A and B are shown apart, each in its own frame.
Chain A
């Protein structure tokens, strides 16, 4: 770790000599990479993630998907610090069970989103380092996507990319799904097959340019029939 002490005021490296006491601090967080994406259609939703788990220059695993099924109509994608992703999904599962037992029904997507917001804000002063995106069907059967920040701010979207390659994917989605910055184009609603193809293309592009994204892509397609998973290989370099 290059500490600030080794650089002098003018930015040049100082000569090696005794610099005085330097404090090294344990960091409870690390960044494990990964990208998550969710798209909401008229009567379906897609949550997709890559399956690479990395740390620094290393890859820990090529088969670590970031989509977690919560209910038959809701899937959550979590990227960021893998330790917090695991704990957070365990907590969400437990809360879902508690709700089912006290209210005798499954939580709806909107309710899960609101609950996740308060779970995340509960750790406002020691946050879960996780970027969450929930995809699913709302009470009316329409596709819904909810995107979060690490401390619980959330909103409902039509499409959202999160994680390490999010800044690369989001503009492409804005153009292809949101028809932004295009004039004279007919706004056709997104069909299921088109959406899946778009997600595949978008992840292939992300794997080209982001070191933390690659290996394989897991797509979860949520319809009223349930959750269907599909795996596609990506670049492994």
Chain B
């Protein structure tokens, strides 16, 4: 499998039973604090005591808010920066936008290690494509590479919800890829536990002919509103703009300062 070959080790047997989660037998009926992966995920309310032979029907939303939308002048990508391990905020300064190459961006939602590992691997594959074909990879192809990589691990517990954003010869490109196997092209996506709040703000203000500045402000405001209402989102708002020459890091704003700014405007 891809994972085994990349790490150069002999992990042929992936048949380990991942349904049973681990509890450390300390002799106490301690609360089952299973290994808390630093993640953007809200641990399921089922806790670790459930045995599911069937795939969980309810997919818990992941603790984060990321969004991306296309408009006439390219793609705007906006993310928050909070990472939680259960109810503990492990970090307020996580980079949830991964710079795959100077014209491709990937966002992170779900398991932090899953997202960063597979997107780093994607960066490597994109570079190999460039070397082999002497031209840049398209956004469609890059997203397909990622989707195919994680599809091999479907059902094994990977948690990744990412948007691949870029600019290629077909113009602005935006794809949503996740660990369930979904890969869809679209003009607007918001992923994470705060996504509904972000959708509300974006849907009410988005116009295709917006100026770059207005579009940035819309993305920023949407993330801010999501961090306001969603407990699992917060920290800073990181904003990127993808255009014909590649991507630009537009701004990084602390949510607390944005709050004061918007309050003053009222």
Contacts and interface: CB of A to CB of B under 8 A. Distances in A.
Given A31-B24, A55-B26, A56-B28, A122 B11 contact: yes
B60 interface: no
B9 A155 contact: no
Interface stretch (B85-93, B129-137, B186-194, B197-205): B85-93
Contacts of A30: 24-26
B29 interface: yes
Interface residues of A, number: 34
B16 interface: yes
Interface in A127-167: 127, 129, 147-153, 155, 157, 167
Contacts of A118: 6-7, 117
Nearest to A6: B29
A125 B7 contact: no
A99 to B, nearest CB: 14
A81 B24 contact: yes
A169 B142 CA distance: 42
Interface in B14-51: 14, 16, 18, 20, 22-29, 35-39, 49
A78 to B, nearest CB: 14
A118 B116 CA distance: 10
A181 B9 CA distance: 46
A55 B26 CA distance: 7
Interface string A112-131: 00000110111011110100
Given A149-B38, A152-B113, A155-B95, A125 B16 contact: yes
A155 B94 contact: yes
Nearest to A128: B35
A25 B38 CA distance: 26
Interface in B92-129: 93-95, 111-114, 116-117
B61 interface: no
Interface string B70-98: 00000000000001010010110111000
B29 A29 contact: no
Contact of A56 (B14, B23, B26, B37): B26
A125 B91 contact: no
Contacts of B93: 155, 157
B3 interface: yes
Contact of A152 (B9, B26, B117): B117
Contacts of B171: none
Contacts of B244: none
A31 B3 CA distance: 28
A2 B32 CA distance: 12
Interface of A: 1-2, 4, 25-31, 55-57, 81, 117-118, 120-122, 124-127, 129, 147-153, 155, 157, 167
Given A1-B27, A117-B113, A150-B38, 10 more contacts: A1-B25, A27-B24, A31-B24, A57-B28, A117-B117, A122-B3, A122-B9, A125-B16, A150-B36, A153-B83
